[in-house]
Structure 1
């Protein structure tokens, strides 16, 4: 008597079917993923190979080249400083550096006075504004003769407004107890106002005794050069 053949298993119930199906799906996914990654890589490569226009070289006049060399400035910084319209307000340190700042910033109005305090600044600024002499860039060098008060800072910033840029040079008066207070207030003001920038003369000049006269505050010629150069570089950032 012949033996009957075992009935064939339904296809979906066979383990081999599922193994083959899983392999097909996995290989298909891998192929799709590979294709996507290849396209992405090609796209990034295409972006990288797009030639970006090179910035035009800055051309300086003969006089500007001398300034760049004297103050160790790049052509870009020199050109920006040469074109900038600046109002500089300060104390005796500002008086000291007047020749240097005029050399680097030919369109600067310097308003400096010996012994000037920060509380004088709001009224001075208001007067200059009324006379249409308050430029888009306002440089402040005050705090040497005493610490500024927050109320005076607020009054000054209100006069200046939000569109002008303020460059506040911090102080180097190691013999006076208000040096730290003044510089902390300058740093805090710069941090909380987008148009106020601290020029960190204190840290830059730390240990540079050859920059200063015997009082450690007023500047020798090389100190004045470094002072104005730092200002120009900060303004160009």
Structure 2
């Protein structure tokens, strides 16, 4: 008599099936979730927000300067404390009172008819005497375009740590105006410590700022000129 084979257990009833299934689920779940779990434990600790900068308080005299020259408190405060060596031509001579009002620590050296080729020697002499400040203002180009060799000599004297603010020119009666201003812009774009002060752009349509020669400054022009310098430095 033939023996009948015992009926096979359904795979679902076999313990080994469930063990394998549980292992697969656990491994798969770990693979999907391990990154988020790791991220959960690696979250950076909360940092305190940076305190807001304290508002700048100006003295009564500084407030008057800020109002007169249309300056922000920040620009006014910086101009009041920064030490400046300002070297220029007759336009610089025009603005000495305004420069001293906005920049009380400025040493202003202006001369009628001064050319750019004189600047390297002036700067070197001041440096030798330990009188060349870390902030230098240059107003030259009214009487002729600067030469690249003279610019290189000047920048060598200054070095790369002093900041140079070079004011471009408004001299519409002279053919070298655009050449000079293009050279100033080019130098400012390529030398990190040289900054152009765009006096030409600001004064372009302001005839009442100038004397009859359209170069030297009336009081309104001097206020605008020095105000622009302070705003540029305050950026």
Which among 156, 165, 171 is matched to residue 169 of structure 2? 171
Alignment partner, residue 32 of structure 2: 30
Inter-partner Cα distance in structure 1 for 2:134 and 2:144: 27
Report the alpha carbon displacement of residue 175 of structure 1 after superposing the two structures with TM.
Answer: 3.1
Cα shift at 1:6: 5.3
SS in 2 for 1:88: strand
Query: CA deviation digits over 1:103-151, x for unaligned, max 9?
Result: 0001111111222111121222223333433222110001111110011
Q: Report the Cα distance in structure 1 between the residues aligned to 2:37 and 2:200, rounded to whole angstroms.
A: 58
Partner of 1:71: 69
Cα offsets for 1:171-191 (capped at 9, x unmatched): 122333222221222122223
In the TM superposition, structure 1's runs of 4+ consecutive aligned residues that sit over 6 Å from their partners are none
Counterpart residue number, 1:59: 57
Across the aligned residues of Structure 1 and Structure 2, the Cα RMSD in angstroms comes to 2.9
Answer yes or no: is 1:147 the counterpart of 2:145.
yes
Q: What is the distance in 1 between the residues matched to 2:69 and 2:41?
A: 51
Tell me the matched-pair count.
229
- Show CA shifts across 1:23-77 (max 9, x none): 544432333333344456x637x23xx1323323322221111111111112222
Residue correspondence of structure 1 range 1-237 to structure 2 within 5 A: 1=2, 2-3=4-5, 5=7, 21=24, 23-38=25-40, 43=44, 46-47=46-47, 50-237=48-235
State the shift of 1:8 in Å: 7.9
Q: In structure 1, list runs of 5 or more residues that go unmatched.
A: none
Specify whether residues 6 and 77 from structure 1 end up closer, same or farther in structure 2 by C-alpha distance, changes over 3 A only: same
Q: Who wins on radius of gyration, i.e. which is larger?
A: 2
Mapped partners of 1:150, 1:43: distance in 2? 53
- Report the Cα distance in structure 2 between the residues aligned to 1:219 and 1:174, rounded to whole angstroms: 14
Deviation at 1:226, TM superposition (A): 1.7
Cα offset, 1:169, TM superposition: 0.9
Task: Give the direction of change, closer, same or farther, for the CA distance of 1:172–1:18 in structure 2 (3 Å limit).
Answer: farther
| TM-superposition CA deviations, 1:183-206 (whole Å, max 9, x none) | 222122223333222212222333
In the alignment, structure 2 segments of 5+ residues that lack a partner are none
Q: For the residues of structure 1 that align with 2:114 and 2:22, how far apart are their CA atoms?
A: 88
